[in-house]
Structure 1
Amino acid sequence: MTSDEVAVIATASSDVRDLPAVVETLSTAFDEVPIFRWFFPDDERRAAILPAFFAAVCEAHLSWGEIHRSADGLAAAVWVPPGAEMPAEVSATLGDRLGGILGEEAGTKMADLRPLIRAHHPDGPHWFLNFLAVRPEAQGRGYGTALLRPMLDRCDAEGVPAYLDATSEANKRLYERERFVVVQEVTLRDSPPLWCMVREAQ
């Protein structure tokens, strides 16, 4: 299979039917991601927490209508539009949910890491790729590229950059092929690195 053969579906802002498949894909793929293993070192606890974590995040992002998945459910991406602000009540609900899900140690790690990453977002309007995941059995088959291309074409048409945080060397190479450029490597204490990456409109 090539990236051109992967059908991509955008989730409508009022449609929650796609979320279970998206959450399962994100949870499965991110279970092996170094930064999430640092957040949750215990394998059993991580496997139990990630579905609840991604369910809370995806539900909070649903109103923007930019949660995408492959038609077969093997890959998913969560985007934030330029200038989007989460309503105060949604942000508060998300904060409360995540506080109960993450626990003190992981919650503190995420809270401490967040401003280090946000400091490297482009100053002006930009699309933010919050998460992109491909299930392990489908990796290397063009799914990541298929999910990226429609949105990067949209960025080019709108004349705005895209931003993301790469979580591994392999992911960084994928994004570099799509003309993302590393603007900063970020670590927090003994964490694995994250790469803040920007792609200017082409």
Structure 2
Amino acid sequence: MGIQIRQAGEADRAAVTALLDGAFQNDPVSSWVFPDETHRRAVHSRFLGVFVDVTLAEGRIDLATDGSCAALWLRVPAGEPEHEDGVPARMRAVADPDNERCELVGRLTGAVHPTAEEHEYLLMIAVSPERQGQGLGTELIRPVLERCDREGTPAYLEASSARSRGLYERLGFEFTGVTVDLPEGPHMWPMWRKPGHGDGPSPAA
């Protein structure tokens, strides 16, 4: 099997957002942010659309040409971010202004994001529900990880389930040792990948 990959642009915004919406409807974190299923269906795509907009403006979206999967990447420099504080507030304002969880999830993940080294940040990866379990996600992100190895660049992500944590561990990511604990909700696992498949300790946030 092989997938063709291209870089998404503004014209792909709706398609990428719909792909994320379908892939994450029943994700533990999305279910915590929007506990009511009917309400989640109504506002979830607006919430995820903020991630798409940020990545289109500041990063890169790798999209399978058949629309089956997409990966959102940001190149994050070393040091404290200059304007990241505004993104969680925007997530809440755009998606669900009365729901503080829209903002809280971004603030909690931001609080543990590593700052010591420049790195590639896998903000989100989505595979359409009918194609999940076929290895498409691994195939989609492998070229970036291979480039990270060649360039000596670390990579970072937050796994939103124990299952996804296991998948990322097989790609060389290591749990940093500090979970993101959503109040009365699920855990998220920040994971760091050193170039060369993650040998060595993870950095402090």
**TM-score, length basis structure 2:** 0.84
Alpha-carbon contact 1:66-1:79 (below 8 Å) kept: yes
Query: Matches of residues 1-202 of structure 1 in structure 2 within 5 Å?
Result: 2=1, 5-11=2-8, 15-83=9-77, 95-96=89-90, 98-105=92-99, 108-118=100-110, 119-183=112-176, 184-202=178-196
Q: CA deviation at 1:41?
A: 0.8
Per the TM alignment, residue 50 of structure 1 is displaced from its structure 2 partner at its CA by 1.6
Question: Which amino acid is 2:63 matched to?
Answer: R
The one-letter amino acid of 2:96's match is L
Q: Report if the CA contact (8 A) 1:82-1:126 is conserved.
A: yes
Q: CA RMSD in A?
A: 2.5
Tell me if the contact between 1:68 and 1:76 (Cα under 8 Å) persists in the aligned partners.
yes
- Offset at 1:29? 0.5
Q: 1:194 to 1:161 in 2, by over 3 A?
A: same
Q: CA, structure 1 residues 152+56, in 2 after alignment: closer, same or farther (shift >3 Å)?
A: same
Q: Which has the higher contact order (CA 8 A, sep 6+)?
A: 1
Number of residue equivalences? 193
**Deviation sequence 1:131-175 (CA, Å, 0-9, x none):** 111111101111110111011112112211100000112211111
The answer (yes or no) to whether the contact 2:174–2:193 under 8 Å persists in 1 is yes
TM-score normalised by structure 1 residue count: 0.85
- Is the alpha carbon distance of 1:82 and 1:24 closer, same or farther for their aligned partners in structure 2, counting shifts above 3 Å? same
Q: Distance in 2 between matches of 1:57 and 1:87?
A: 17
Name the amino acid aligned to 1:41. Answer: P
Whichever structure has more helix as a proportion of its residues is 1
Confirm or deny: 8 A CA contact 2:154 2:194 kept in the other structure.
Answer: yes
Identity across the alignment (%): 33
Pairwise CA distance, 1:57: 2.4
